[in-house]
Amino acid sequence: MKKAIVLFLIISMSLILPNFSLAQSKTEILIRNATVLTAVKGNLENTDILIQNGKIAKIGKNLKAAANAQIIDATGKFVSPGIIDAHSHTMLDAINEGSFSVTSMTQIQDVLDPTDISIYRALAGGVTTGNLLHGSANPIGGQNSTVKFKWGKPVGDYLVNDAPPGIKFALGENVKRSNFPPQPGQPTRYPRTRMGTMEVIRDAFIRAREYKQSWDDFKNGKTKVQPRTDVELQPIVEILEGKRLVHAHGYRSDEHLNLLRLAEEFGVRIATLQHGLEAYKIAPEIAKHGAGVSIFVDFWSYKLEAYDTIPHNAYILWKNGVNVSINSDSDERMRRLNIDAAKVMRYGGVPEEEALKMITLNPAKQLGIDKRTGSIEVGKDADLVIWTAHPFSIYSRVETTFIDGEIFFDRTKDAQMRVEMQKERENLEKMEVNRAPGSGGTQPRVPSERRKADRDDAEDGDGGNQ
Amino acid sequence: MKIRIFGIVLLAIALFSTVSAQNRTDVYAVTNARIVTVSGAVIERGTVVVRDGLIESVGADAKIPADARVLDGTGLTVYPGFIDALTSLGIQTPARPQTPGQPQQQNQQPQSNSNYPNGLQPEKTAVEDLRGGDAQFETPRNAGFTTVLTVGNTGIFNGQSAIINLGGESVSAMVVKSPFAQHFSFRNLGITYPASLLGTFSAFRQMLLDAKRLQELQKQYAANPRGMKRPEDDKSLEALFPVINGTMPIVFNANLEREINRSLDLAKEFNLKAIIAGGQEAWKVADRLKSQNVPVLLSMNFPKRTAASSPDADPESLATLRFRAETPKGAAILSQKGVKFAFQSGGMTNLNDFFSNALKATENGLSKDAAIRAMTLDAAEIFGIENRTGSIEPGKIANLTVIRGDVFAKERTVTHVFVDGRLFEMKEKPRTPTTNSGGTTPSTRALAVGGTWNITLEVPGQTIPGTLNLVQQDTTLTGTMSTALTGSSPIKDGKVTAEGFSFSVSVNAGGTNLDLAFNGKVSGNQVSGTVDTPQGVISFTGTKNP
Amino acid sequence: MNVKCKTQNVKFLIFLLLAAHCSLLTANAQSDGSTQNLLGKAGTFAIQNARIVTVSGAVIENGTILIQDGKIAAVGASVSVPSNAEKIDGKGLSVYPGMIDAGTNMGLAEISSGASATIDVQEVGDINANAKAILGINPHSSHINVTRVAGVTTVLSMPSGGLISGQSAVINLWGSTQTDMAVVPTFALIVNFPRVSTFGGFGQPQIDFNEAVRRRDQRLEALKKAFKDAENYGRIKDAYVKDKSLPLPKTDLGLEAMIPYIRGEKPIIFTAERKRDIDSIIKFVEETKTKGIVIGGQEAWKSAEGLKKNNIPVIFTNMFNLPVQDDDNYDTFYEAPSKLAQAGVNFAISTGDNGANVRDLPYQAGTAAAFGLSKDDALKSVTLYPAQILGIADKYGSLETGKMANVVVTTGDILDARTDVKYLFINGRLMPLTSRHTELFERFKDRK
């Protein structure tokens, strides 16, 4: 009798375990015999990668793994670093606080939605990490969140805790509200010109400086009354202190250049120029300032500001020594950043590994997380993608996506899941509560203020831009 | 003929109203009843004595005072008066459901001298907006409720709630506890800051930080005003002092897992005494609720399918199907994990659903004892009034609900309700009222109301156009009700009589679910009537679309 | 060239400053400058030693293609090359027919947001059968050069919106005038087929399905009425032509324009995505005995039988769209072309783009190949198949003797994003590989 129970346990364990280990376990994983695109040290053929405790433990040929290790045969397949999207608005319940010109007090972290299906679809396109940004309705927007797309995990697990904090800036027509006339009862917001935009930012910098001074005076005993803790100015003080990365949305070269100059006046280095559709026109100046640029590879002409961009943007910036990343700003485009990166090889002739960096190591650097991710090197987080072919090949497809050594997308598992979901659906539809016609009641409420598919200037639910 | 009509009128009164509160007889004894004390064991056959608004004695052998009016409780069960843990009952303010992300109409309320915009005024209190009078509470009282939490439901800060008994000619007579808690909704103000969920968080943070500072400065100033600029007298911030000091709970309206997590994050950040209201997905966060010791005012308004079926329609999402299947299981999980909770009606119009859904919760693993506690003593404990009410014990407020049979029986009838010792006696409904109405069957006498009607809903401050598509089959009414605001929703429980028609409809106004009950009359191509909404009764008129 | 570009930029600035008067300057602002007007070099060309992907036949691993008088004069492993031919060494290069996108607004929409003066996509009102895309296409749109240098040489440009949007045009991405460009100036009538939509607006609840059906039915009645009106109009006209004693019918341009389409003489393109709407179209086509084409086609594979039975091809425009429902498979649209192919439905892959991103056409086809479609079908879905649907397969869509010489010479697989275009011929003209983009690139690439 006892034996029967033990046997039963063993059988049931063995039934559960393979599934379980696929998503959950922290045991060793050995990826065997792949072409490994390291993004830093070239492509390694017939190479193994050993994953231990979520990290890349070894890279080499004929590696040995523990007896209980999960072995994945990747013969004929390619492994790349997980793709990093340096400009995304996915998994957000709200994108823009469009009321004020300066909304540095808002935090993207407050509005994360870990149930957004776009996360899973991004994983299926090999994306492991994203820079989730506030929209572009304000010269100074909200605080960003750098996340890894750990679909199925609690929202706290998404946050890359040691990523430096950042903030969104924006320039140009969105902050001028050119395409968003005030609604009835809403006053016309300052600024309405590029002149005013610069003044809003300058004013915020100065207010933050004075705010900091008031606290210093209080701490030094110069004043008695404790100043207010100002959630708007606090993050701007951090910018001035170099502790918060500025991701500055802009299209025209002149406005980006003006921002660089303004920042330099205050001793601030802008972390990234976002979009930078005309960044190629001022590539030497950007290189000198030390900002990175995060661009659409070739998306253009969707508005006047986007008429002067060229697909050679990446090449010119790269040639000038600027750190370039290619972003999506879209839940749809995010799924094919590998093809976007492939395009830069054609437009100007960026070498393959440099092109790959533009969706891996370069955005990691822009987000300040390159110590842990962005390339395949021993000691880094095991954020990896297995592809059926070279990721730049149009015929390639993602097989498996790892984050911190865990599998978050797997095409075989996806096929199983379809069957399971169908079964679950059949069972649920049979339930009384799901049968039509109902007798009233409530639909689940989804507290989202935004449209689904999005790109930079799709009108937002709350009347702003992304 | 005349007599017959008179009979119908009498019957109508019996059906639609309770006989009003008994005259001054202050001493009652309910005898031979089953008594569910909640605080102690069930007394299978016993007596409860009520005197001067309080429970005088309870027990199998409790002595029946000579001056008591004796009510024979044979076949009846006495419960502590049921508590609805979140309502807007008696609140006068015209409440408008707010649509997140949508510009709001300019609020009709008079300007206050607050430094903060309407919607961000925590100084608002339910008692200020309450009106006196018993009649307004007839429906919930008939359903068996004696006590509710009430608070406005507009804005980000909904204001400070009151716990009231559903009886009393004056507000002061109703109030059991006020203020109880500050109430908060994850809404935004539309076109002014905070105009998005993002801003709602930052506005909340800034106000709490400012309140902390103001409190500190006021202390400093009180101690030594000389040489110090007088701190502002800011009633909005001052209203938050008890919240930041942890002496007043803050109730977060949060149904989804992520909303609840956000609430718990804020509670942690500012060390607040949080309560979750709604809590449809609270079971998913049960461990966290337990560890942060946060109770839940759990909505009994369980999700139901509203869409009619059609082979061509899009299949419902798995998330929707799961949500409906899982919500009734939530209470059992919370109970098992040791999270304290009370039941609330969640804006439903038909309060019978409250009890049938509580029954559903017990069918999904919640013990019946726990379910009863969730509408009595546990609610009282969450409100901090367990020393006064929530159970049948001598000395407690005489709030009692008397039911023929059992509260969890499919057919239950509330026969008596005591509120503060006042008896509200119910006339039991005849089982088949229509058979008494005369020789003709209703179907031949029913009005013809089918067709498309263009209607106008008179919401305070504005009118909302809408359309009724009514399909009549004898006395049964089906179809849809649509407005630009809510889209189209199928009607249910539609009936047509000789006098008029009625139906109810669940609408979703920008994320807020509302149950509306329509009662209408038709005359030629004109239609008119009333709509019962969670915020009060409004009227509608309209014409037939030829 | 620099000088010209500068002038161009000054104009561009003026354009920005004088937004109110932008319509006057638009044409200039959009113009590419000098090379825009270089309409290519006519002549006799021989591309030799190249890998020739004929599409219609086998791949010729090492062959020659001879271009003469705008046409493909010869193609094969051994072709005799006339002495006057300009010889192009195709060693290491591949030759393909120009790609065809059968679902764009090319030339009708320059800047989709914030510059309405550049938009000519949708006329006022519901019924606009007489609106003709060919009269709205801007031959100097910068999208044209940008698209063709990526190897797309022919597109269908369509008006959209309303109920009957107007008439589409098949154009080559070449020419100074609309006439130069026209391949089929009025190809198909575009019908924005009424759909059952429960979408209630952003942030708004869904519309009840039965209500949505009712609304669809109302729109469908309007469409049927328009067809009936055109039918009656046509009958009266015909009767008058035969018998002049009848009263002279009053001309109605809209109804007049519909006649060849409702009589099944010319095709009608119906927009539809969902099965329920595509099934309605099938029924409509059966009832009206018209020549239908479906554009959109998200769920077209689910209606394969009806589509095949009625010989209705599908122009699939959803490769780079997100799945609609949360529960949809992540690759549901990636897989759709393969399912259409398996079901035997005639189809083409199209970007459905307004113009600027039509150059992504090869990558959309390639992605379909990554998800089950054969590489051969993927290539055909942007060459021969759209040519067949557009009724121009006798002239375009493959490399065959006698066809028009729309020829692309590439560094590799034309569907791969890394592949570059080396030579491009439209109607036998060797085109300069320049565009607004290359000009700006040239101007700024060496700026220090």
Please check whether residue C355 is in contact with residue C101, taking contact to mean a CB–CB distance below 8 angstroms.
no
Q: Which residues sit opposite C57 in a β-bridge?
A: none
Closest in C204, C208, C211 to B510, CB measured: C204
Please answer yes or no on whether A441 and B304 come within 8 Å at the CB atom. Answer: yes
For the ranges A222-231, B355-364, C195-204, the lowest mean pLDDT is seen at C195-204
Please check whether residue C396 is in contact with residue C388, taking contact to mean a CB–CB distance below 8 angstroms.
no
Tell me what ipTM this predicted complex has.
Answer: 0.91
Provide φ and ψ at A281, rounded to 5°: -75, -20
Show which subunits contact A, needing at least 3 CB pairs below 8 angstroms. Answer: B, C
How far is residue A192 CA from its own chain's centroid?
30
Report DSSP letters for B244-298, one per residue.
HTTSS-EEEEE-SHHHHHHHHHHHHHHT--EEEEE-TTGGGGHHHHHHTT--EEE
Helices (H), C173-208: 178-181
Percent of chain A exceeding pLDDT 90 equals 84
Cα-based angle C138, C139, C141 (whole degrees, multiple of 5)? 65
Q: Which residues sit opposite B75 in a β-bridge?
A: none
- pLDDT tens digit sequence for B369-380: 999 999 999 999
Residue A461 has pLDDT above 90, yes or no: no
Strands B27-35 vs B43-51: parallel, antiparallel or unpaired: antiparallel
Distance CA A451, CA A118 (A): 12
Please answer yes or no on whether A302 and C12 come within 8 Å at the CB atom. Answer: no
B462 pLDDT tier (thresholds 50, 70, 90): low
Cα separations in angstroms, C309 against A159, B60, B325, C286, C304:
54, 82, 43, 10, 8
Please answer yes or no on whether B304 and A134 come within 8 Å at the CB atom. Answer: no
- pLDDT tens digit sequence for C139-175: 999 999 999 999 999 999 999 999 999 999 999 999 9
Percent of chain C exceeding pLDDT 90 equals 87
Rounded to an integer, the average pLDDT of C24-33 is 37
What average pLDDT does the structure give for chain B?
A: 86
Cα-based angle C291, C293, C296 (whole degrees, multiple of 5)? 160
Rounded to an integer, the average pLDDT of A330-344 is 98
On whether any CB of chain A is under 8 Å from the CB of C413, the answer is yes
Give pLDDT, residue B11.
Answer: 38
Cα-based angle B513, B516, B517 (whole degrees, multiple of 5)? 160
> Which pTM was predicted?
0.86
- pLDDT tens digit sequence for A38-89: 999 999 999 999 999 999 999 999 999 999 999 999 999 999 999 999 999 9
In three-state form (DSSP H/G/I as H, E/B as E, the rest C), the secondary structure along chain A is CHHHHHHHHHHHHHHHHHHHHHHCCCCCEEEEEEEEECCCCCEEEEEEEEEECCEEEEEECCCCCCCCCEEEECCCCEEEECEEEEEECCCECCCCCCCCCECCCCEHHHHECCCCHHHHHHHCCCEEEEEECCCCCCCEEEECEEEECCCCCCHHHHECCCCCCEEEEECCCCCCCCCCCCCCCCCCCCCCCHHHHHHHHHHHHHHHHHHHHHHHHHHCCCCCCCCCCCCCHHHHHHHHCCCCEEEEEECCHHHHHHHHHHHHHCCCCCCEEEECCCHHHHHHHHHHHCCEEEECCCCCCCEHHHCCCCCCHHHHHHHCCCCEEECCCCCCHHHHHHHHHHHHHHCCCCCHHHHHHCCCHHHHHHCCCCCCCCCCCCCCECCEEEECCCCCCCCCCEEEEEECCEEEEEHHHHHHHHHHHHHHHHHHHHCHHHCCCCCCCECCCCCCCCCCCCCCCCCCCCCCCC
Eight-state DSSP code of residue C98: P
Please check whether residue B347 is in contact with residue B513, taking contact to mean a CB–CB distance below 8 angstroms.
yes
How far is residue A103 CA from its own chain's centroid?
21
Give pLDDT, residue A446.
Answer: 52
Please answer yes or no on whether A346 and C417 come within 8 Å at the CB atom. Answer: yes
Strands A406-410 vs A398-403: parallel, antiparallel or unpaired: antiparallel
Which residues of C fall within a CB distance of 8 Å from A331? 322
Give pLDDT, residue B494.
Answer: 83
Give pLDDT, residue C248.
Answer: 86
Eight-state DSSP code of residue C132: B
Distance CA B418, CA B9 (A): 27
Please check whether residue C301 is in contact with residue C336, taking contact to mean a CB–CB distance below 8 angstroms.
yes
B168 pLDDT tier (thresholds 50, 70, 90): confident
Please answer yes or no on whether B101 and A424 come within 8 Å at the CB atom. Answer: no
Please answer yes or no on whether B307 and A107 come within 8 Å at the CB atom. Answer: no
What average pLDDT does the structure give for chain C?
A: 91
Closest C-alpha among C433, C401, C369 to residue C57: C401
Closest in B315, B469, B486 to C205, CB measured: B486
Residue B14 has pLDDT above 90, yes or no: no
Closest in A331, A395, A418 to C370, CB measured: A395
Please answer yes or no on whether A428 and B322 come within 8 Å at the CB atom. Answer: yes
Helices B318-326 and A411-430: crossing angle, nearest 10°?
A: 50
**Exposed/middle/buried for residue B169 (C-beta within 10 Å: 0-12, 13-18, 19+):** exposed
Please check whether residue B513 is in contact with residue A443, taking contact to mean a CB–CB distance below 8 angstroms.
yes
Eight-state DSSP code of residue B135: G
Strands A245-250 vs A272-275: parallel, antiparallel or unpaired: parallel
Which residues of C fall within a CB distance of 8 Å from B482? 207-208, 211
Phi-psi region of B495 (alpha: psi -120 to 50; beta: other; left: phi over 0): beta
Which residues of C fall within a CB distance of 8 Å from A284? 447-448
Helices A233-240 and A194-219: crossing angle, nearest 10°?
A: 90
Eight-state DSSP code of residue C83: T
Cα separations in angstroms, C177 against C139, C173, C181:
6, 11, 7
Please answer yes or no on whether C115 and A304 come within 8 Å at the CB atom. Answer: yes
Closest C-alpha among A378, A331, A337 to residue A357: A337
Rounded to an integer, the average pLDDT of B47-65 is 96
Report DSSP letters for B393-426, one per residue.
-TTSB--EEEEES-TTSSS-EEEEEEETTEEEEP
Give pLDDT, residue C71.
Answer: 98
Q: Please give the structure tokens belonging to residue C237.
A: 């006209």
Helices (H), C177-274: 178-181, 209-242, 253-262
Helices C2-17 and C22-30: crossing angle, nearest 10°?
A: 150
Please check whether residue C279 is in contact with residue C324, taking contact to mean a CB–CB distance below 8 angstroms.
no
Rounded to an integer, the average pLDDT of B174-194 is 96
Distance CA A226, CA B217 (A): 8
Handedness of CA C368, C369, C371, C373 (dihedral sign): positive
Best mutation target, C197, C211, C213, C273, to test chain B (most B CBs within 10 A): C211
Q: Which residues sit opposite B472 in a β-bridge?
A: B477
Provide φ and ψ at A264, rounded to 5°: -60, -40
Please check whether residue A303 is in contact with residue C112, taking contact to mean a CB–CB distance below 8 angstroms.
yes
Q: Please give the structure tokens belonging to residue B115.
A: 């430094």
Coil vs helix vs strand at B494: strand
- pLDDT tens digit sequence for A109-144: 999 999 999 999 999 999 999 999 999 999 999 999
- pLDDT tens digit sequence for C225-272: 999 999 999 999 999 999 999 998 899 999 999 999 999 999 999 999
Q: How many CB atoms lie within 10 A of CB A154?
A: 14
Looking at residue C48, its amino acid is: Q
Q: Please give the structure tokens belonging to residue C94.
A: 């591949």
Please answer yes or no on whether A302 and C111 come within 8 Å at the CB atom. Answer: yes
Distance CA A197, CA B475 (A): 65
Give pLDDT, residue B455.
Answer: 87
Please check whether residue A81 is in contact with residue A124, taking contact to mean a CB–CB distance below 8 angstroms.
no
Show which subunits contact B, needing at least 3 CB pairs below 8 angstroms. Answer: A, C
- pLDDT tens digit sequence for B105-119: 444 444 568 899 999
Which residues of A fall within a CB distance of 8 Å from C326? 117
Residue B65 has pLDDT above 90, yes or no: yes
Residue A178 has pLDDT above 90, yes or no: no
Helices B257-270 and B197-223: crossing angle, nearest 10°?
A: 20
B536 pLDDT tier (thresholds 50, 70, 90): low
Q: 375-394 in A: which are within 8 Å (CB) of C?
A: 388, 392-394
Closest C-alpha among C274, C374, C285 to residue C324: C274
Q: How many CB atoms lie within 10 A of CB A179?
A: 13
Please check whether residue A126 is in contact with residue A83, taking contact to mean a CB–CB distance below 8 angstroms.
yes
Give pLDDT, residue B425.
Answer: 87
B443 pLDDT tier (thresholds 50, 70, 90): very low
Please answer yes or no on whether C330 and A120 come within 8 Å at the CB atom. Answer: yes
Closest C-alpha among C98, C123, C61, C59 to residue C425: C98
Within B378-523, strands assigned E span: 400-404, 413-419, 422-425, 451-459, 462-473, 476-483, 487-496, 501-509, 512-523
Give pLDDT, residue C3.
Answer: 35
Closest in B314, B482, B489 to C198, CB measured: B314
Which residues of chain C have a Cβ shorter than 8 Å from any chain B Cβ?
196, 198, 200, 203-211, 213-214, 276, 325-327
Please check whether residue B458 is in contact with residue B471, taking contact to mean a CB–CB distance below 8 angstroms.
no
Please answer yes or no on whether B100 and C203 come within 8 Å at the CB atom. Answer: yes
On whether any CB of chain C is under 8 Å from the CB of A328, the answer is no
- pLDDT tens digit sequence for B235-258: 999 999 999 999 999 999 999 999
Closest in A281, A303, A457 to C111, CB measured: A303
